Amino acid sequence: MGTEIVDTSSGDIAETLEGVAVIAQKENALLLVSEYDTPLAFRPPAQIDVYRTIDEAATQALHYEAGTFPTYLQYEGDIQMEVSALQENTPQRWHIYYAETKNLLHSRPTNTQRATWLPSERLQELAQHTRQYLHGHIPEEKWGTTPALAPEWWSIFKELGLIS
Find the CATH number of the domain harbouring 68: 3.90.79.10
- The proportion of the chain whose per-residue pLDDT surpasses 90, expressed as a percent, equals 31
Q: What domain range includes position 44?
A: 17-119
Query: Which pLDDT does position 156 carry in this prediction?
Result: 86
Closest CA to 147 of 162, 132, 157: 132
> In this structure, is residue 25 part of a structural domain?
yes
Residues 18-74: tens digit of each pLDDT:
889 999 988 889 999 888 777 788 888 888 766 678 889 999 888 888 888 899 999
In a domain, 133, yes or no: no
**Which comes out higher in pLDDT, residue 113 or 105?**
113
pLDDT at 6 over 60: no
14: pLDDT strictly greater than 60: no
Please indicate, yes or no, if residue 56 is contained in any of the structural domains.
yes
Quick check: is 7 in a domain?
Answer: no
Number of domains comprising the chain? 1
Average pLDDT over residues 109-117: 76
DSSP for 7-46, please give it. --TTSSPPSSEEEEEEEEEETTEEEEEEESSSTTEEE--E
With a CB cutoff of 8 Å and minimum separation 6, the contacts of 39 are 113, 114
Q: Which of 93, 83, 85 is nearest to 133 (CA)?
A: 85
Which has more pLDDT, 126 or 89?
126
Structural domain includes residue 127? no
CA separation for the pair 23, 45 (Å, rounded): 8
> Quick count: other Cβ atoms within 10 Å of Cβ 99?
23
